[in-house]
């Protein structure tokens, strides 16, 4: 670790090696956000097919646009840290999310449910790291990003409140699987805790991601499922 990271007040004051790590990392985050855009394109179609109300469809379109905007933020921050590629990031994962033994309609319901869980975790990550960010442009970006993520989570949770009792029973059956998949999606990746000192510059370490996942699970996801009349996740984790 370069000691300059502790005292740097702007990207130019970081070491060349740290800027390279951040440039590559932000580029990969941009690619991930473009994947999220594709996910919301499909989610918007799911909402339409399932008969979501007009205001929710309008929010869904906003979410799609937001994810593309976030992808371009990833590109711009990568360039800020020295990445030479100024092209738009491209999603690396393009296959639609499906679940075992779920039909077409059930998959649509489960994708929206999973979005409620993942976006809740995303909100918590951004909230957790904000106190560590001191570079004002990046802090402002964090605030804007969090405001968007809150809307994304609200969209999914709001739709779930409109479901019939039978649809909620379907989701309940899949809760154990969804909760097993959740940390794999929101916590697992190539990041390393060795770069915890770069969290103030937007690097999300496994420890940061795991702590946010656990907090979102306890404070948002389990209470949210219980509010919907779905068995509390803590009772079904071993089901």
Q: What is the pLDDT of residues 224-235, one digit of tens each?
A: 999 999 975 455
Residue 54 lies in a domain: yes
Measured CA to CA in angstroms, residue 48 lies from 41, 66, 75, 151 at distances of 11, 19, 31, 18
Residue 22 lies in a domain: yes
Kindly indicate the confidence band of residue 3, based on its pLDDT and cuts at 50, 70 and 90.
low
Kindly indicate the confidence band of residue 236, based on its pLDDT and cuts at 50, 70 and 90.
very low
Domain count, the chain: 1
What value does the mean pLDDT of the chain take?
94
* Rounded CA separation 4/129 (Å): 20
| Residue 92, pLDDT score | 83
Residue 198 lies in a domain: yes
In this predicted structure, the answer to whether residue 115 has a pLDDT above a threshold of 50 is yes
pLDDT tens per residue, range 19-58? 999 999 999 999 999 999 999 999 999 999 999 999 999 9
Residue 5 lies in a domain: no
CATH, residue 222: 1.20.1260.10
| Residue 17, pLDDT score | 96
Domain span at residue 109 reads: 13-236
pLDDT tens per residue, range 176-224? 999 999 999 999 989 999 999 999 999 999 999 999 999 999 999 999 9
| Residue 172, pLDDT score | 95
pLDDT tens per residue, range 120-161? 999 999 999 999 999 999 999 999 999 999 999 999 999 999
DSSP string, the chain: --THHHH-SSGGGS-HHHHHHHHHHHHHHHHHHHHHHHHHHHHHHHHHHTT--HHHHHHHHHHHHHHHHHHHHHHHHHHHTT-S--SPP--S--SPP--TT--HHHHHHHHHHHHHHHHHHHHHHHHHHGGG--SHHHHHHHHHHHHHHHHHHHHHHHHHTT--HHHHHHHHHHHHHHHHHHHHHHT-SS--GGGGGGGGGT---HHHHHHHHHHHIIIIIHHHHHHTTPPPHHHHTT-
In this predicted structure, the answer to whether residue 238 has a pLDDT above a threshold of 80 is no
pLDDT tens per residue, range 169-178? 999 999 999 9
| Residue 6, pLDDT score | 62
| Residue 231, pLDDT score | 73
| Residue 1, pLDDT score | 55
Residue 114 lies in a domain: yes
In this predicted structure, the answer to whether residue 69 has a pLDDT above a threshold of 90 is yes
For the chain, percent of residues with pLDDT exceeding 90: 89
Residue 53 lies in a domain: yes
Residue 37 lies in a domain: yes
Number of other residues whose CB lies within 10 A of the CB of residue 64: 20
Residue 2 lies in a domain: no
């Amino acid at each position: 670790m370069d000691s300059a990271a502790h005292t740097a007040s702007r990207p130019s004051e970081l070491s060349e090696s740290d800027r390279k790590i951040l440039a590559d990392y932000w580029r990969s985050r941009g690619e991930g956000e473009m994947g999220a855009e594709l996910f919301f394109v499909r989610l918007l179609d799911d909402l339409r097919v399932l008969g979501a109300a007009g205001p929710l469809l309008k929010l869904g379109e906003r979410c799609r646009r937001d994810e593309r905007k976030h992808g371009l933020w990833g590109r711009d921050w990568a360039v800020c840290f020295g990445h030479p590629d100024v092209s738009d990031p491209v999603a690396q994962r393009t296959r639609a999310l499906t679940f075992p033994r779920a039909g077409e309609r059930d998959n649509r319901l489960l994708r929206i449910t999973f979005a409620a869980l993942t976006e809740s975790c995303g909100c918590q990550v951004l909230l957790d790291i904000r106190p560590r960010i001191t570079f004002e442009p990046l802090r402002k970006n964090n605030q804007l990003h969090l405001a968007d993520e809150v809307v994304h989570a609200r969209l999914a949770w709001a739709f779930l409140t409109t479901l019939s009792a039978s649809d909620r029973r379907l989701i309940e059956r899949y809760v154990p699987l969804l909760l097993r998949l959740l940390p794999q999606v929101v916590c697992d990746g190539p990041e390393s805790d060795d770069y915890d000192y770069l969290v103030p510059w937007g690097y999300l370490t496994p420890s940061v991601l795991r702590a946010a996942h656990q907090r979102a699970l306890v404070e948002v996801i389990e209470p949210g499922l219980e509010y919907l009349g779905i068995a509390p996740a803590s009772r079904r984790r071993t089901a």
